[in-house]
Amino acid sequence: MNIKSSQTLVSEALKQIKTISTNDAYKMVNENQCNLIDIRDIRELEKEGRVENSQHIPRGMLEFWLDPESVYFKEGKLDLNKEMVLFCAGGLRSALAAKSLKDMGFEKVSHIDGGFGAIKQSKFKII
């Protein structure tokens, strides 16, 4: 059996997706150019706090909530024409999630380098 490691999956994803800095993400949010999507688990948000102006979509539901054909589709929650900027705690889950959205056909997708850890050190406000 030849199973790819999670590390291999992440490194393959990173070659196919756009990674942006917290500064780039902050600028995009302030200019209303993107959907800032927090894919962390709800327990992480409760423990660490939320990023102001972000939408929470748990990693396990991302593809379902963004698929207009899915019964779980969240009508009007996001502007599907804007860039989807994803983040998780450190950047691993968001890399895989960004690749998944690309695979679904979303063209404007990126993830934040360093995830929530980097966001806490940036201009973003944690609430």
Mean pLDDT for the chain overall: 96
- Sign (positive or negative) of CA dihedral 54, 102, 7, 1: positive
Determine contact, residues 115/10, Cβ cutoff 8 Å. Answer: no
Only one residue has tokens 């860039």, namely 83
pLDDT in tens, 50-78: 999 999 999 999 999 999 999 999 888 89
Query: What b/e readout covers 44-62, taking b as 16+ CB neighbours within 10 angstroms?
Result: bbeeeebbeebbebebeeb
pTM check: above 0.85: yes
Question: Residue 1's pLDDT is what?
Answer: 84
User: What's the half-sphere exposure (Cβ side, CA atoms, 13 Å) at 115?
Assistant: 20
Sorted by where each starts, the structural domains of the chain and their CATH numbers stand as 6-120 (3.40.250.10)
Give phi and psi for 39, each to the nearest 5. Answer: -100, 10
